[in-house]
Amino acid sequence: MTLQEFFHEHNRVALAFSGGVDSSYLLWAAVQAGADVTAYYVNAQFQPAFELEDAEKIAAYCGARMKVLTLDVLKEERVVENPQDRCYYCKQAIFSAILAAAAADGYTEVLDGTNASDEEGDRPGMRALKELKVFSPLRMAGLTKDEIRRLSKEAGLFTWNKPAYACLATRIPTGMRITAELLERTEAAEEALFAMGFSDFRVRTRQDGSALVQVTQAQTQKAKDAWEEIAARLGALYPAVMLDDQPRG
């Protein structure tokens, strides 16, 4: 099934929208196919501020309606406990909010941006999507991440080369209780690295409360050269900071 065929059969849909590569292309494709689509962005503590800004820009570029829903995920005890399957409980909360809002707006079908490169074993939240009967058109069409990036570039979407950005909760070790303070510290640390010109990196909290900075191979030397400044900036947030000797990706 192609995306065109999907939207011919499902022409009135709500989209769980993050402003990332996949959901941005799916929104564009839905608009191009003439579907009645509204994008729903869930603004929770796990998303940094720039994600909302990107989502608003892409929705405007696509000429699509976008609604922002506010959700306090830290009220979900199973999420805060941060178990191995935290993503399942988080997806349940997020998509339940989207389903409720979409239903109130008259939508009976909800889509997400899962693609054909996403393995179920790597995405525990996919179980929640199945239970809630959320459609994943990109996956149904067999579109991989690389293909979506290529098609996004052809469509003029600025997200075509946007690095993957997992939620802030992924920076906190499994089993460590998630708090607003930990999330705010992580976002501040990553904002500092963005300001220094780094991209596609992570600042992870370790069990002892220190920070582990992970950058790509291409940025390793840059990080070493700027380490004094990095340590100073992040040292104001963490008791200790170290650079991971295993580059990302």
| Cα distances (angstroms) measured from residue 236 to each of 184, 211, 215, 229 | 13, 11, 20, 11
**Residue 63 confidence (pLDDT):** 96
Which amino acid belongs to residue 248?
R
pLDDT tens-digit readout, 94-140: 999 999 999 999 999 999 999 988 776 556 677 878 888 899 999 99
Which tokens hold the place of 115? 């693609």
**Residue 121 confidence (pLDDT):** 56
Which tokens hold the place of 107? 């939508």
| Cα distances (angstroms) measured from residue 153 to each of 2, 57, 113, 115 | 19, 16, 17, 17
pTM of the predicted model as reported, rounded to 2 decimal places: 0.90
Q: Spell out the domain ranges in the chain.
A: 3-161, 179-243
CATH of domain 3-161: 3.40.50.620
How are beta strands 211-214 and 202-205 bridged, if at all? Answer: antiparallel
Beta-carbon contacts of residue 23 (< 8 Å; ≥ 6 apart):
15, 16, 17, 39, 112, 113
Query: Is 19 in contact with 159 (CB distance < 8 Å)?
Result: yes
